[in-house]
Amino acid sequence: MTPAGDVSSGGARTEVKVWADALQLFRAAADEFTRAAREAIAARGRFCVALAGGTTPRGAYALLAEDDARRPAQCLPWDKVHFFFGDERRVPPSNPDSNYRMAREALFARIAVPEANIHRIEAELEPKEAADQYQELLQTFFALGPGELPRFDLVLLGMGPDGHTASLFPGTQALDETSRLVVANWVERLRTFRITLTFPVLNHAAEVLFLVSGADKAEMLRNVLQGDSSGAVYPAQRVRPDAGRLLWYADGAAAARLADPVG
Ligand code: 6PG
């Protein structure tokens, strides 16, 4: 399994890798997760990862669980892995739209991770309360002082056809948040609140890995990585880790327009 091509974009630390299809993309994502986990555990004794929601990452989460079952001798020490979420829909954990439920079905239920290591967003609470509660959880877990930011070892993100990432949607208030770690973001297009980590937190990560799959993302991926003539800045473009690595993994369908001249 080799990447179909490398496209450098937007500065030295942005790497874009294109994989032939979604399965190879998931495989590469699972391998990068495992590599980053081993590195963090060796260096700091634990691995703190913020998971992406939506549909794309499910395949990578499932491969991590399969690896665990197929190669138990090489499995990750899940007691040293702490799972957080980049965002959550305003639904209870049992709801099919829940990002937590997706991660539980694809991964948590199939590996020996302690429940105490799974830090979900309690999105069934009132939106502001859910955001405050998760912010406090992060401040306590990372032992943050006033104004300090948590540094995730890895943040997994997806991207919508409109250029949103986590629940940072175009034209929403959360885009301008500069101090809070977590906010309840009203998304007019969806007529709902979403609970989401903010740009300061995403950009403080040691590594951010975007997973982008499917033809419906091709135009926006080209815009985000190569800019577009409208000069619009899409939320996904504002994820630029201050002192970290930025990786974009895309499958061929999502990367199909990367060679196109900026439209
Ligand atoms: C969510 C996600 C969101 C997602 C994109 C892409 O809760 O929906 O966090 O940001 O990553 O919408 O979603 P797909 O992977 O389903 O295309």
Q: What is the mean pLDDT of residues 220-225?
A: 96
> 249 phi and psi, to 5 degrees?
-110, 125
Residues near 121 by Cβ (< 8 Å), separated by ≥ 6? 85, 87, 88, 100, 130, 134, 182, 195
Checking if the pLDDT of 256 tops 50, the result is yes
Tens digits of residue pLDDT in 76-85: 999 999 999 9
Checking if the pLDDT of 59 tops 70, the result is yes
Higher pLDDT, 97 or 261: 97
Comparing 32-46, 68-82, 128-142, the range with the smallest average pLDDT is 68-82
Cα(42) to centroid(ligand 1), Å = 31
Q: What percent of the chain has pLDDT over 70?
A: 94
Residue type at position 115:
E
Cα 85 from Cα 100, distance rounded (Å) = 8
**Helix, strand or coil, per DSSP, at residue 201:** helix
Q: Please report the atom of ligand 1 found closest to the CA of residue 99.
A: 7
> 228 phi and psi, to 5 degrees?
-135, 160
Cα(167) to centroid(ligand 1), Å = 8
Nearest alpha carbon to residue 152 among 109, 193, 198, 189: 198
Q: Please report the atom of ligand 1 found closest to the CA of residue 88.
A: 7
Checking if the pLDDT of 1 tops 50, the result is no
Q: What percent of the chain has pLDDT over 90?
A: 89
pLDDT value, residue 72: 79
Checking if the pLDDT of 6 tops 90, the result is no
pLDDT value, residue 154: 98
| Cβ proximity of 127 and 192 under 8 Å | no
pLDDT value, residue 14: 87
Band (pLDDT 50/70/90 cuts) for residue 8 is: very low
Beta strands across the sheet bearing 207-212: 5-8, 14-19, 245-251, 207-212, 154-157, 47-51, 81-85
Cα 191 from Cα 169, distance rounded (Å) = 12
Cα(240) to centroid(ligand 1), Å = 18
> 24 phi and psi, to 5 degrees?
-70, -35
Q: What is the dihedral of CA 94, 200, 22, 233, to 10 degrees?
A: 120
| Cβ proximity of 156 and 50 under 8 Å | yes
Q: CA separation (Å) from 149 to 53, 136, 179, 217, 237?
A: 22, 12, 9, 31, 20
Helix boundaries (H) for 74-232: 99-106, 127-141, 199-202, 218-226
pLDDT value, residue 12: 55
Cα 162 from Cα 128, distance rounded (Å) = 25
Is residue 18 within a helix (H) or strand (E), and if so which, with residue range?
strand 14-19
pLDDT value, residue 262: 53
β-pairing, 47-51 vs 14-19, is unpaired
Checking if the pLDDT of 222 tops 50, the result is yes
Residue type at position 127:
P
Q: What is the mean pLDDT of residues 222-237?
A: 94
Checking if the pLDDT of 3 tops 80, the result is no
Q: In three state form, how does the secondary structure of 137-156 look?
A: HHHHHCCCCCCCCCCCCEEE
Which residue among 26, 61, 87 has the greatest number of ligand 1 atoms within 8 angstroms of its CB, and so is best to mutate? Answer: 87
Q: Please report the atom of ligand 1 found closest to the CA of residue 165.
A: 10
Tens digits of residue pLDDT in 155-210: 999 999 999 999 999 999 999 999 999 999 999 999 999 999 999 999 999 999 99
